[in-house]
Chain A
Amino acid sequence: MSSIIFLFNSERNSRSRTQLWERFIAESGARYLSDAGEIKSAKLASCIFTHSREYQEKISSIVGDIGDVPVVVFTGGMHGRTIRVDEKRKSTFWMSIEMLMPKVDELVVGLLAKINNGATANEVWEYIREHNRSAFPEALIAAYLLMIANEKVGVPLNFPQWEEACEQYKAISEEKDADWSNASGWGADEIRKVKKKIGELFSQVASQV
């Protein structure tokens, strides 16, 4: 029995999701158990593809009783970078499939490191929460909102994280179009358009640093 189970809920057979999962397995070296219980490759963690919402029964039918082993369920229908603890089983964590998109390597490597260190379910959850928090540039967005408030009602630009906001702005400006394309599935024209918009919006922040 592995010390964590990744479960991919493939309610509908989406090609882009399948590609993500294949990439996840390739990069994590995870063991892949198909719905039929067939082991495709083995290294550390278990990945189970299931079409069933009854994931506990599905897991049990393949690998037996899992006790308190943490289960991370990647699923659609979570609408953005949402995460939550299962209401019935507190060591099961539901994560939006989108969380895998932008930085699949980072998340996978981080989670596997946790496993190797014998992380508890709570520690896995804390890691996931931190990962989710870093999914969007907090300092940059906060700085941007503060600037709007400064312009409109004169709230002082007394902000301790200008430097961090500027770093985040730079990182976004320098991200490669191809990475964005992989992450979002958008075409090159859309990406250029969005980058231009972000540049217009956040160049104000950079100029404050």
Chain B
Amino acid sequence: MMLAPWNIPCDANTLRGQLKHSWLENEVLYISIETVITLWRRDEADLASKYAVRVQDLTRLADSLDEGFSPAQLVDVLNPFDGFSTENKAAIKAAVHAAYLESSGILALQAPLKAAAVCMEAALQELSRAWALAQPQGESAVRAAWEGVREKASALIMELERLPKGVMLP
């Protein structure tokens, strides 16, 4: 993977960061089991349903991983390309995207990320099932399910940390 002193911003990196930091760290790993149990006792909305949008975002990131970090997107935003013809721009985009796919190894990161996402989704479904249970078995089920969610969140974070932190150069 190309290292550079600049993190060239791209939507995929913002999404990566939001999933890792705002969701998995702040909303899962840093939430204590006591807080989760309190929410469950108060009959609050199931945490898993609250995270449904995050799961969709995660799927979107994984599905478009190659395009998300591609230098092809720079051709439309870098000022020096302003005067180039549409035809030349298209040719540059195709060439740099192909070069990046060859050199970056980005596609090798896709399958493990998708697998971790599937595991997380399954853990959240388990939490949903536990959330619907009543006392007395409900509390222990929620505790166990939350532990599963945390475990899968940690695995998912590891995969997200392997992703680039901005547009990659070939």
Contacts and interface: CB of A to CB of B under 8 A. Distances in A.
Q: Is chain B a partner of chain A in the same complex? A: yes
Nearest to B170: A148
A180 B71 contact: no
Interface in A165-209: 172, 180, 183-184, 193-194, 197-198, 201
Interface string B67-91: 0000100110011110100001001
Interface in B48-105: 71, 74-75, 78-81, 83, 88, 91-92, 94-96, 98-99
A161 interface: yes
A184 B3 CA distance: 12
Given A80-B165, A80-B166, A197-B3, A136 B92 contact: no
Q: How large is the interface on A (under 10, 10 to 19, 20 to 34, 35 or more residues)?
A: 35 or more
A141 interface: yes
A155 B95 contact: yes
Interface of B: 2-9, 13-14, 16-18, 21-22, 71, 74-75, 78-81, 83, 88, 91-92, 94-96, 98-99, 165-166, 169-170
Contact of A153 (B16, B17, B95): B95
B108 to A, nearest CB: 20
B13 A80 contact: yes
Highest count of chain A CB atoms <10 Å: which of B80, B88, B99, B166:
B80
A194 B165 CA distance: 15
Interface in A48-96: 76-82
A174 B6 CA distance: 16
Contacts of A80: 7-9, 13-14, 17, 165-166
Contact of B8 (A98, A136, A149, A201): A136
Contact of B5 (A76, A146, A180): A180
B18 A142 contact: no
B30 to A, nearest CB: 9
B94 A153 contact: yes
Contacts of A184: 5
B80 A143 contact: yes
Contacts of B95: 148-149, 151-153, 155
Nearest to A195: B5
Contact of B96 (A145, A156, A172, A201): A145
A98 B95 CA distance: 31
B8 A77 contact: no
B9 A81 contact: yes
